[in-house]
Amino acid sequence: MILAIQQLERQPGLDSRAIDAFIRHNRFPLIEGAHVTFVWRGHADAVHLRHWVFGLASAQPFHRLSHTDLWYLTIDLPRGSRFEYKFDVVRGGHGQWIRDPLNPNIAHDPFGANSVCQGEGYEIPDWCQHDPDARQGSMHELILNNTAFGGPRPLTVYLPARYRETRRYPLLIVHDGGDYLRFARLKTVLDNLIHRLEVAPLIVALTHPKNRMDEYPNDPHHAEYIVEQVLPFMERNYPVFGTPAQRCLMGASFGGVASLSTAWRYPGVFGKLLLQSGSFAFTDIGENKRGPAFDRVVEFVNAFRENPGRPAEKVYMSCGTYESLIYENRSMVPFLQSHGLEVRYDEARDGHNWENWRDRQQSALAWLFPGPLWFVYE
Amino acid sequence: MRRVVVLGPQRHVITVTEELRLLGLSGRIATITAGWQEREAEDDELSAALGNRAVNLRLHARTDDVFAQDRQLFSAHRRRQDSLRQLQDIYRLRLDHLMASASMLMTRAGPPEIVEPERADTIEQLRALDAHHLRRIRDVHDVFEQQELPGERRALAQHRAEVQGILAECDAVAIAGGHVSTLIGRMRLLDVASGMIDKPILAWSAGAMVLTERLIAFHDRPPEGAGNAEILDVGLGLAPGIVALPHATSRLKLDDNARMALFSRRFAPADCICLDAGSRGRLTGRSWQFTDGTLRIDRDGHTVPASVEAP
Residues with Cβ < 8 Å from B52, sequence gap 6 or more? none
Confidence of residue A166 (pLDDT cuts 50, 70, 90): confident
Kindly report the backbone phi and psi dihedral angles of residue B232, in degrees, each rounded to the nearest multiple of 5, phi listed first: -105, -35
Residues 6+ apart with CB under 8 A from B21: none
What are the structural domains of chain B? 3-305 (3.40.50.880)
* pLDDT at residue B225, rounded to an integer: 80
Q: B224 and A245 in contact by Cβ < 8 A?
A: no
B227 pLDDT more than 90: no
- Parallel/antiparallel/unpaired status of strands A314-320 and A272-276: parallel
User: What's the average model confidence in pLDDT over B290-304?
Assistant: 96
Predicted pLDDT at B1: 82
pLDDT at B308 over 90: no
Burial B235-246 (b: 16+ CB within 10 A, else e): bbebbbebbbbb
How does strand B230-234 pair with strand B214-217?
antiparallel
Q: What pLDDT is recorded for position B212?
A: 98
Dist. CA B171–CA A372, nearest whole Å:
33
Cβ atoms of B8 and B280 within 8 Å: the answer is yes
Angle B43-B46-B47 (CA atoms, 0-180°, nearest 5)? 85
pLDDT of A102 over the 60 cut = yes
Q: Which residues on adjacent β-strands are paired with residue A248?
A: A172, A272
Percent of chain A with pLDDT over 90: 96
Q: Distance between alpha carbon A38 and the CA centroid of its chain, in Å? A: 24
Whether residue A316 contacts residue A274, with contact meaning beta carbons closer than 8 Å, is answered with yes
User: How much is the pLDDT for B280?
Assistant: 97
Geometric angle at alpha carbon A267, from A263 and A272, rounded to 5°: 55
Pseudo-torsion of CA B60, B62, B65, B69, nearest 10°?
-130
Q: Determine the residue type at A316.
A: Y
Least confident of A45-59, A302-316, B176-190: A45-59
Strand B172-175 to B178-179 pairing: unpaired
The C-alpha atoms of residue A33 and residue A29 are separated, in whole angstroms, by: 12
- Give the contacts of A109 (CB within 8 A, at least 6 positions apart): A179, A183, A353, A354
Helices (H), chain B: 16-23, 44-49, 59-69, 71-106, 112-148, 154-168, 180-189, 193-196, 206-211, 248-251, 257-267
Contact assignment for B222 to A373 by CB distance below 8 Å: yes
For residue B309, is pLDDT > 80?
no
Grouping H, G, I as helix, E, B as strand and the rest as coil, residue A103 is: coil
CA B70, CA A222: separation in Å to the nearest integer? Answer: 42
Interface contact A182, partner B, CB < 8 A = no
**CA–CA separation, B303 and B276 (whole Å):** 12
Helix (H) or strand (E) holding B242: strand B242-246
Nearest to A366 among B67, B218, B222 (CB): B222
Q: Which among B38, B89, B179 has CB closest to A162?
A: B38
pLDDT digits (tens, 9 = 90+) for B17-37: 999 999 998 899 999 999 999
Residue type, A44: A
CA separation, residue A149 to residues A144, A153, A206, A217, A297 (Å): 11, 8, 17, 15, 20
How large is the average pLDDT for residues A162-178? 95
Whether chain B has a CB inside 8 Å of the CB on A59: the answer is no
Distance between CA B228 and CA B137 in Å, rounded? 18
Are A376 and B217 a contacting pair at CB < 8 A?
no
- Alpha-carbon span A137 to A161, nearest angstrom: 4
Residue B146's pLDDT band, with cuts at 50, 70 and 90, is very high
Note the pLDDT of residue A168: 94
Examine the pLDDT at B310 and tell me if it is beyond 80.
no
Residues of B in contact with A370 (CB under 8 A): 222, 224
Cβ contacts below 8 Å, chain A against chain B, sum to 55
**Residue in A with minimal Cα distance to B71:** A166
What Cα–Cα distance (Å) separates residue B290 from each residue in B17, B101, B127, B232, B294? 17, 34, 26, 26, 6
**CB-based contact, B9 to chain A, within 8 Å:** yes
Q: Put residue A325 in one of left, alpha, beta given phi > 0 → left and psi -120 to 50 → alpha.
A: alpha
Please name which of B60, B38, B54 lies closest in space to residue B192, comparing C-alpha atoms: B60
The whole-chain average pLDDT of chain A stands at: 96
Degrees, nearest 5: CA angle B212-B214-B220:
105
Q: pTM for the complete prediction?
A: 0.89
Of residues A58 and B153, the one with the higher pLDDT is: B153
Judge contact between A62 and A26, C-beta under 8 A.
Answer: no
Instruction: List alpha helices for chain A, DSSP H.
Output: 4-10, 16-24, 177-183, 186-195, 212-215, 220-224, 231-237, 254-265, 295-306, 326-338, 354-359, 361-368
Q: What residues of chain A lie within 8 A of the CB of B89, using their CB? A: 245
Q: Do B224 and A372 touch (CB under 8 A)?
A: no
Cβ-defined contact of B89 to A374 (cutoff 8 Å):
no
The band of B43, judged by pLDDT with boundaries at 50, 70 and 90, is very high
User: Closest residue of B to A344, CA-based?
Assistant: B224
pLDDT tens, position by position, B236-251: 999 999 999 999 999 9
Q: B66-83: per-residue pLDDT in tens? A: 999 999 999 999 999 999
Residue A277 — pLDDT band, cuts 50, 70, 90? very high
CA distance A303 to B24: 75
Q: Which of A222-226, A359-363, B194-198, B208-212 has the lowest mean pLDDT?
A: B194-198
Distances (CA, A) of A25 to A4, A132, A212, B13, B28: 11, 33, 45, 47, 67
**Residues A378, B177: C-beta atoms closer than 8 Å:** yes
Given this model, what pLDDT does residue B224 score?
Answer: 81
Q: Which amino acid is at B215?
A: L
Residue A354 near residue A178 (C-beta atoms within 8 A): no
pLDDT band at A13 (very low <50, low <70, confident <90, very high): confident
Residues of B in contact with A376 (CB under 8 A): 35, 177-180, 206
B222·A376 Cβ contact <8 A: no
Q: What percent of chain B has pLDDT over 70?
A: 99
Contacts of residue A309, Cβ cutoff 8 Å, sequence gap at least 6: A264, A267
Q: Nearest chain A Cα to B245, which residue?
A: A377
CB neighbours of B3 closer than 8 A, spacing ≥ 6?
Answer: B23, B200, B201, B282, B283, B284
- A241 min Cα distance to partner chain B (Å): 10
Whether the CB of A340 is below 8 Å from some CB of chain B: the reply is no
User: Is B225 in the A-facing interface, judged by CB distances under 8 Å?
Assistant: yes
| Pairwise CA distance, residues B276 & B208, whole Å | 12
pLDDT value of residue A99: 98
Q: Which of A44, A115, A46 is nearest to A86 (CA)?
A: A115
Q: Determine the Cα angle at A91 with ends A88 and A94, to 5°.
A: 70
Domains and CATH numbers, chain A: 4-118 (2.60.40.10), 126-374 (3.40.50.1820)
Question: Could you give the CA distance from residue A58 to residue A85 in angstroms, rounded to a whole number?
Answer: 10
Q: Which of residues 192-231 of A touch B (CB under 8 A)?
A: 198
CA–CA separation, B5 vs B16, rounded Å?
A: 9
What ipTM describes this predicted complex? Answer: 0.96
- Cβ within 8 Å of residue B196, ≥6 positions away: B30, B167, B173, B238
B242 DSSP β-pair partners: B271
Collapsing DSSP to helix, strand or coil, A70 comes out as strand
Question: What is the tens place of the pLDDT at every residue in A196-211?
Answer: 999 999 999 999 999 9
Establish if B309 touches chain A: CB-CB under 8 angstroms: no
Instruction: Say how far apart CA A240 and CA A298 lie, in whole Å.
Output: 34
Q: Which of B78, B180, B224 sits opposite A370 (nearest CB)?
A: B224
More confident residue, A13 or A262: A262
The mean per-residue pLDDT over the stretch B207-223 comes to: 96
